[in-house]
Amino acid sequence: MAASSYTAPEKQKPLLELEEHEEKHFTSSEIVRDIIIGVSDGLTVPFALAAGLSGADVPSSIILIAGIAEVAAGAVSMGLGGYLAAKSEADHYVRELKREQEEIINAPDIEAAECAEILAQYGAEPHEYEGVVNALKRNPKHWLDFMMK
């Protein structure tokens, strides 16, 4: 007898509710982190510079020019630092992606065992995760995505 694609209505309801449910997650945590670090650094150093120069009994115009120069230099520094950090993170991701691709091609059994180990850490039993691992093995793109996450 051929396998049926029939799903009982009581089992479909939770899936339909899940499709209708939309979660809104905050996805810009790195940007917020960079802004907070940049603002805290950007405000601290100019005030410290202004305080130091004020104590040195220099004209207000020098303090103002030095403060503006420090803000500009700080902005360039933070911008370059953020760019280099993002670039190095992206480079690392690409290297890891290539490594995982090679492992899926050259050592699929080891990668499948790694998938099983990950799923077992979530409490899945072998008879539960074997189907998931086999489904991933049939679709290398999804398998790679799973391993990268």
Cβ–Cβ < 8 Å for 97, 144: yes
Cβ–Cβ < 8 Å for 93, 147: no
Q: CA 32, CA 74: separation in Å to the nearest integer?
A: 18
Q: Per-residue confidence at 121, pLDDT binned at 50, 70, 90?
A: very high
Cβ–Cβ < 8 Å for 72, 59: no
Q: What is the pLDDT of residue 58?
A: 86
23 sits in the region (left: phi over 0; alpha: psi -120 to 50; else beta) called beta
Query: Residue 3 corresponds to which tokens in the numbers above?
Result: 């396998």
- Domains of the chain by residue range: 30-148
Q: Per-residue confidence at 11, pLDDT binned at 50, 70, 90?
A: low
Backbone angles phi and psi of 64, in degrees to 5: -65, -50
Nearest to 79 by CA among 48, 34, 49, 32: 34
pTM over 0.85: no
pLDDT value at 7 more than 70 = no
First to last CA, the chain: 39
Burial class of residue 54 (count of CB atoms within 10 Å of its CB; 0-12, 13-18, 19+) = exposed
